[in-house]
């Protein structure tokens, strides 16, 4: 997300096998190349830095741009200890991301650089991830990574390399209005859309970024990789948090922030003490399983009190949220700022988790605090998560958003 040198012949047996993927016809390949060229919108021959993670999406981006006639430079970030990832069982090619990116660049015949960003990633993403759990929050590390290491630090590198733009493998769209304003939009493949994770992309960053996969569906992307003979055509998509190769993030938090492993009480929202817990970092808002308390009705985690080391539980209806407040906001809408939009009580579609559809709401100021007020309430809203805002009149357009600071329950 010091350069590493690995002989390609020593890596030959570490790559995932390519399944039986039907190659695209030349017409389809030409269409994919043209779609990438249209997404870039720059003269052929322009230098573009391709952020290559080692996965199929970013590799295909580099390949399509190279085929489209751009001067492509691949850059891969070493973000965490890949040696630990190699020990993960049950995942094809785990830990080989940097090697995969390097070999793909060699296959394409483009220059490729590996940058050691491990310390930056630890400070900006891993430590923040652990601290959030101590505060009783539910963090989204992918957003932090995009917001800091990738779309801040890596963009500076791309500019230093003389690139006219930086391209990534995100499934998200980018459009320029007739007035010259840049918009972020959902990808054509809504099942892959990643706009929620990119809400913090600033207008200046969006002006420089390009997303060549915006108009392609994932099967087409894999077909392009197979047609070009890229060994990553069948590489599985990453499912876990990249810096937690075991999938057990609580073990990482216990190691980094052992104070989170302090025992406390599980308390019903009516004041009854129902039991004990072994650490507040084991719990998130909306959690039902693993509470180890029984009162004859289903109970859910409704609030976390890190100061008192208390886990507050209650019935499902207690999860319904009337409004929330936002921190670290970003705005891509037509108004001059998110404050201006809030002062106008702007209607929005608010998405509080990547797995939930957006809900009708209003962006407003409540006693001077940036707030989102839901039309009919929203369930399972957790501090620390992102709230991405979309345009109700154009639901594919991302307006911005922020990180959820506090919530107000509908029942209060």
Q: Which residues are catalytic?
A: 145, 242
CA angle 277, 281, 282 (to 5 degrees): 55
Q: What per-residue string of b and e applies to 308-328 under the rule 16 or more CB within 10 Å gives b?
A: ebbbbbbeeebbbbbbbbbee
d(CA 54, CA 105): 10
What are the CA-CA distances from residue 81 to residues 97, 121, 224, 244 (Å)? 11, 11, 30, 10
Paired sense of beta strands 369-379 and 386-391, if any: unpaired
| 185 sits in which H/E element | strand 182-186
Paired sense of beta strands 273-277 and 369-379, if any: unpaired
CA angle 42, 45, 50 (to 5 degrees): 75
d(CA 214, CA 290): 40
d(CA 168, CA 213): 8
* Nearest Cα to Cα of residue 229 among 108, 71, 58: 108
- Provide φ and ψ at 276, rounded to 5°: -120, 155
Give the alpha-carbon dihedral of 299, 304, 308, 311, to 10 degrees.
Answer: 20
Q: Which of helix, strand or coil describes residue 406?
A: strand
- Provide φ and ψ at 152, rounded to 5°: -120, -65
- Provide φ and ψ at 326, rounded to 5°: -120, 145
């Amino acid at each position: 997300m010091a350069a590493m040198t690995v002989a390609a012949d020593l890596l030959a047996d570490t790559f995932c096998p390519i399944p039986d993927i039907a190659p695209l016809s030349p017409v389809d390949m030409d269409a994919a190349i043209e779609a990438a060229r249209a997404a870039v919108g720059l003269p052929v021959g322009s230098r573009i830095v391709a952020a290559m993670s080692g996965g199929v999406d970013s590799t295909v981006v580099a390949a399509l741009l190279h085929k489209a006639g751009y001067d492509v430079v691949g850059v891969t970030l070493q973000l965490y200890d890949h040696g630990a990832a190699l020990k993960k069982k049950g995942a094809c090619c785990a830990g080989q991301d940097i090697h995969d990116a390097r070999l793909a660049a060699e296959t394409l015949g483009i220059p490729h650089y590996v940058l050691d960003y491990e310390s930056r990633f630890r400070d900006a993403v891993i430590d923040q991830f652990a601290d959030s759990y101590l505060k009783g929050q539910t963090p989204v590390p992918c957003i932090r990574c995009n917001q800091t290491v990738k779309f801040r630090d890596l963009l500076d590198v791309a500019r230093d390399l003389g690139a006219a733009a930086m391209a990534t493998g995100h499934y998200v769209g980018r459009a320029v209005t007739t007035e010259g304003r840049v918009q972020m939009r959902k990808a054509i493949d809504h099942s892959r859309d990643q706009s929620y994770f990119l809400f913090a992309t600033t207008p200046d960053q969006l002006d420089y970024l390009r997303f060549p996969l915006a108009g392609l569906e994932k099967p087409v992307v894999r077909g392009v990789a197979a047609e070009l003979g890229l060994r990553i055509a069948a590489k599985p998509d990453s499912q876990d948090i990249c810096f937690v190769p075991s999938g057990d993030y609580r073990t990482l938090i216990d190691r980094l922030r052992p104070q989170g492993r302090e025992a406390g009480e599980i308390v019903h929202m009516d004041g009854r003490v129902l039991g004990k817990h072994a650490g507040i970092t084991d719990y998130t808002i909306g959690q039902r399983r693993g509470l180890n308390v029984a009162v004859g009705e289903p109970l859910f985690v409704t609030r976390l009190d890190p100061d008192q080391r208390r886990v507050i539980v209650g019935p499902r209806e207690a999860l319904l949220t009337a409004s929330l407040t936002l921190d670290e906001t970003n705005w891509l809408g037509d108004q001059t700022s998110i404050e201006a939009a809030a002062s106008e009580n702007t209607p929005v579609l608010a998405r509080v988790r990547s797995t939930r559809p957006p809900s009708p709401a209003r962006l407003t100021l409540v006693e001077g605090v940036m707030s989102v007020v839901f039309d009919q309430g929203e369930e399972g809203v957790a501090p620390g998560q992102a709230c991405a805002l979309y345009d109700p009149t154009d639901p594919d357009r991302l307006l911005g958003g922020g990180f959820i600071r506090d919530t107000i329950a509908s029942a209060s």
